[in-house]
Structure 1
Amino acid sequence: MKTYQILGLMSGTSLDGLDLAFCHIWQSGTDWKFKIKETKSVSYSPELQSKLRNSIFLPAEELLSFHNSYGTWLGEQSKGFIEEHALNVECISSHGHTTHHRPEMGLTFQIGSGQHLANASGQKVICDFRTNDVALGGQGAPLVPIGDTLFFGEYDFCLNLGGIANVSFDKDGQRIAYDIGLANMILNHITRKNGLDYDKGGQLASSGRANKELLTQLNHLEYYHLPYPKSTGYEWFVEKVVPLVDGTDDSMANPLCTGIHHICEQVATQVKVNSRKSDNLLLVTGGGALNDFLIQTLQEKLGSDTQVVVPDKKLIEFKEALVFALMGVLRTELKTNVLSSVTGAKRDSSSGVVFLPS
């Protein structure tokens, strides 16, 4: 079978930076296999990070201009990475960076113009994976569950802890997935308010105590009571969560500790509700998997019925970039890469728009 050589690009809501993963992907019988060959994380400059964070507030003309310039920047980063490792790349498969996500309005937008990316990198590009699903009445998210199904089917639950926490699992023969709610977004907001990029390993959080009033307010947010399929994003965080955090007069350690207890309580609730047995395996990836205090707290709240599995650091950090590489492969083969059982769309789809360099 053909082995695809794909460069996957991912930028998530936690705004850590751009993840690049050069992957070999192939099908063996009915199973899909992968090797992550080369990786790189490019941290955002303070200026670019701030612009990405505030892009939701840009006027239309400025947003579209940023869409183009960010696409060029993605292309430049890709080209440098390809040349650095002398890679033979068939295609770049890019998630872009989500600035607007309002599926209830039929709207989702990921900046990082595919044409500008293709021109700057000199490579064929596949991107814009969410729009088609939203046009079909879906949430356009989460997208990673196709990778959970094809690459990580031995786990009962796959949990990603990026800016947002999302989970996927099989139920009645179908893949189900949705955004549980908060993850690193709230933790990073608290640390950045205090001049720190992040709380390494959760050390500060582990020294604090949960603020019961804030914890209660977070746990009672309306989003947590909505049925799936559902997804959320930065708009919800700014509107519903930031006022609660910023309105809490407490030390940095206590809100961080509160945030971790909140994240873990919400995750544990969803796992327990959807568990069908007493010996579950839960795969955890994303930046939150590197937060030792969070993982410890999560295991405590899950109890003995579910074992938290933290894989090697490369998979933790680059799983999403890997899955977008897979989505590019599936789009190339015109196979399903977005699951309607996950998003609530009218049907499964093979999504993504192809751009050729000129």
Structure 2
Amino acid sequence: MKNELIYVIGLMSGTSLDGIDLVYVEFNKTNYKDFKIISAKTIGYSAEWKSDLQNAIIFSKERISELDIEYGILLGETINNFINELNIEKVNFIASHGHTIFHQPEKGITLQVGNGQKIANITKNKVICDFRTQDVLLGGQGAPLVPIGDELLFSDYDYCLNLGGFANISFKRGNERIAFDICPVNIVMNHYMQKLGFAYDDDGKIASEGKINNELLAELNSLDFYKKEPPKSLGLEWVKKEIFPIINNLETDIPTVLRTFVEHCAVQISSVLEKNKSILITGGGAFNGFLIRKIKEYLGLEIELPSKEIIDFKEALIFAFLGLLKSEEKVNCLKSVTGAKKNHSSGEIFYPVFKSQ
């Protein structure tokens, strides 16, 4: 039995820049659903790191290469601190998502910084990372990657909905897993909250006090992305090009922006959900009580939230799981989800290199 247990540290950094999510997970190779999150923690970014990761999209190629190394060092040191603080003794490997700088799959481009070799050298452990590149090279969107985890770890739910920087969903249609990005969520709301000097809108309180700008709501809901059939995915570039100009042109009052955007999110999210189905909601947006209430209103049903640990750390958990599948050369990217030419096992594996003295 002991040989069937695998111990993995999974890392995730999302577009909303809340910080680095770390999980230490025990997986049972004979029954994937029999997993246990032993420890989990979020390490917030310094103001300097937050600025660099937000602005990297306009950095030169050389500066991005430097950032890849620097961020890999940060991740390696963060993992070591996590291991030491919790007295973790057994780690089979580390699985890191990195942080997305570019995601333009239609141009064959996706880039996550966080150099895997640096992480391996610093932690003296095997590292699996870069889960998106291969899928894009195979003609896929390189996203979303979480649905294989939804399929194998959370199949008791009809829908798995994540409310992070973006809302994305995964569900079974016939014999295939379908998944796609629905709309931006925290990446937009946090942007406007920062103008008020806050990191995020706690429980959606400020949004709940605003008014709906109906012209803005109509413009947002009519964006071409919402008419596309999946597979489809979103990135920061799209938000900067499509969302921010519309909002800034039509509304300056931030509570009104937030109230309108919550309504927009609720409209788009409820449009892809069927009533009377079970929903697993995770991600930071699950704690936005006002947004959850609006989704409930549109669906006309009660929504039960899972444990705080699953809400906060599901994505880090699943990237640990993607690493497990890659380590066994099992499929971890589904063509039905990403649009790639075939199902495949994605990710790069790095081993520590010990320099001689």
- Residue 262 of structure 1 and its aligned partner are, at CA, apart by 0.6
Unpaired stretches in structure 2, ≥5 consecutive residues: none
| Secondary structure of the corresponding residue to residue 284 of structure 1 | strand
Structure 1 Cα separation of the partners of residues 288 and 155 of structure 2: 24
Q: 2:284 is matched by which residue type in structure 1?
A: G
Structure 2 match to 1:131:
133
- Give yes or no for the alignment of 1:302 onto 2:299: yes
- Give yes or no for the alignment of 1:328 onto 2:323: yes
Structure 1 match to 2:68:
67
| Secondary structure of the corresponding residue to residue 7 of structure 1 | strand
1:15-34 matched pairs, under 5 angstroms:
15-28=17-30, 31-34=32-35
Of Structure 1 and Structure 2, the greater strand share is in 1
Structure 1 Cα separation of the partners of residues 248 and 77 of structure 2: 37
Structure 2 match to 1:39:
40
- Residue 355 of structure 1 and its aligned partner are, at CA, apart by 0.5
- Residue 308 of structure 1 and its aligned partner are, at CA, apart by 2.3
- Residue 217 of structure 1 and its aligned partner are, at CA, apart by 1.3
| Identity rate, percent | 47
Q: 2:37 is matched by which residue type in structure 1?
A: I
- Preserved contact between residue 79 and residue 122 of structure 1 (Cα < 8 Å): no
Structure 2 match to 1:194:
196
- Residue 50 of structure 1 and its aligned partner are, at CA, apart by 1.1
- Residue 337 of structure 1 and its aligned partner are, at CA, apart by 0.7
CA RMSD of aligned residues (A): 1.1
Corresponding pairs, count: 350
- Preserved contact between residue 162 and residue 169 of structure 2 (Cα < 8 Å): yes
- Residue 225 of structure 1 and its aligned partner are, at CA, apart by 1.0
Structure 2 match to 1:49:
50
**Aligned with residue 289 of structure 2, among 288, 292, 303:** 292
- Residue 33 of structure 1 and its aligned partner are, at CA, apart by 2.1
**Aligned with residue 211 of structure 1, among 201, 213, 233:** 213
- Residue 89 of structure 1 and its aligned partner are, at CA, apart by 1.1
Q: 2:319 is matched by which residue type in structure 1?
A: F
Structure 1 Cα separation of the partners of residues 52 and 199 of structure 2: 16
**TM-score between the two structures when normalised by the length of structure 2:** 0.96
Structure 2 Cα separation of the partners of residues 289 and 100 of structure 1: 26
Kindly provide the CA deviation profile for residues 171-202 of structure 1, in whole angstroms up to 9, marking residues without a partner as x: 01110000111111111011012221111111
- Residue 117 of structure 1 and its aligned partner are, at CA, apart by 1.1
Structure 2 match to 1:106:
108
| Secondary structure of the corresponding residue to residue 261 of structure 1 | helix
**Aligned with residue 281 of structure 1, among 278, 281, 286:** 278
- Preserved contact between residue 185 and residue 265 of structure 2 (Cα < 8 Å): yes
Unpaired stretches in structure 1, ≥5 consecutive residues: none
Q: 2:51 is matched by which residue type in structure 1?
A: S
Q: 1:347 is matched by which residue type in structure 2?
A: K
